[in-house]
Amino acid sequence: MRERIVTLTLNPTVDIASNAEAVQPVRKTRTRDESFDSGGGGVNVSRVLRELGGETLAVILAGGVSGRLLEELLDEGGVPRHSVPIASRTRISHTVYDLSARLEYRFVPEGPVLAETEWQAALDALETVPGGWLVASGSLPRGVPDDLYARAAGIAARRGQRFVLDTSGSALRAALGQGLALIKPSRGEFESLIARKLPSTAAQEEAALDLVRQGAAELVAVTLGHEGALLAEPGGVLRLPALDVPVLGAVGAGDSFLAAMVLMLSRGESPREAFAWGMAAGAAAVMRPGTAHPRRADVEALRRRIGVV
């Protein structure tokens, strides 16, 4: 079980994706090619881990009829799960791709308000589920204390697990320095974390390396959209450009990146090698519609395109 990667998703979602000829105000927008996916940061990570041949368990909070649909979608996809029941309904998100404008519109609700007994039950579950790595990913639901991920990091440390965090704002800030193996903010999330703009590559790299040297996290990977990504580790910074691939959807690309990177780290690969696999998985994810559906063959082919790092 030490090879298993456990994921925690406190605010999961049922993701509905569809296409429309044009998105216009007031008028009825008719959609087609609808797809339904289990969603939320950790859920996406678990699904990609399974696609890439990793062993995983998704710990989720689920409630109502939409929560049952979320569980059904996970079961259909063969993703092992541990469900913590909640009283409110799981949220439903909707992404619409405007074919004429080639623009993607994402509608993401806040989600339910959790009672203390519910979020405490999620932490209790982490005390028992076996695994060598714990990946906490996604936003905190309303009603949850800002330091919940810091508490999860403490549980992982006591159990000898490596802890990875992908979140933003006060939840990320509260967990820094709590034995984090890796954090993966986007550029906007990273600038918000350090409370200043980073207009140049040098400024981005220096800020990420400062976090590592201060002990905030062992590794800091910052995704930069079409500009690629950077990885800060004690030995320095590696920056890789984005791979040139056809884009059919961007939902879950960062989660795909994280899944591949953590999988390779769990297998003993170097941080730079794991980073390259993350880049390949993120690119493979945008090549397909829906939420975080990179194909293993595409990830392997794109990793070969990157070459030696």
Residues marked as catalytic: 255
Q: How far apart are CA 271 and CA 221, in angstroms?
A: 10
- 149 burial (CB, 10 Å; 0-12 / 13-18 / 19+) is buried
> Are 178 and 150 in contact, with CB atoms under 8 Å apart?
yes
In a 13 Å sphere around the CA of 232, the CA atoms on its Cβ side amount to 25
Which one, of 73, 182, 90, lies nearest residue 133 by Cα? 182
CA distances to 220, 284, 294 from 246, in Å: 27, 9, 13
> Are 274 and 264 in contact, with CB atoms under 8 Å apart?
yes
Longest dimension (CA), the chain: 55
What is the DSSP-derived secondary structure letter of residue 255? H
Q: How open is the CA angle 176-168-225, to the nearest 5 degrees?
A: 115
Single-letter code of the amino acid located at 309 = V
Q: How far apart are CA 249 and CA 37, in angstroms?
A: 13
Alpha helices in the chain (DSSP H): 41-51, 64-76, 116-126, 148-158, 169-175, 187-194, 201-213, 253-266, 271-286, 296-306
Q: How far apart are the first and last CA of the chain?
A: 30
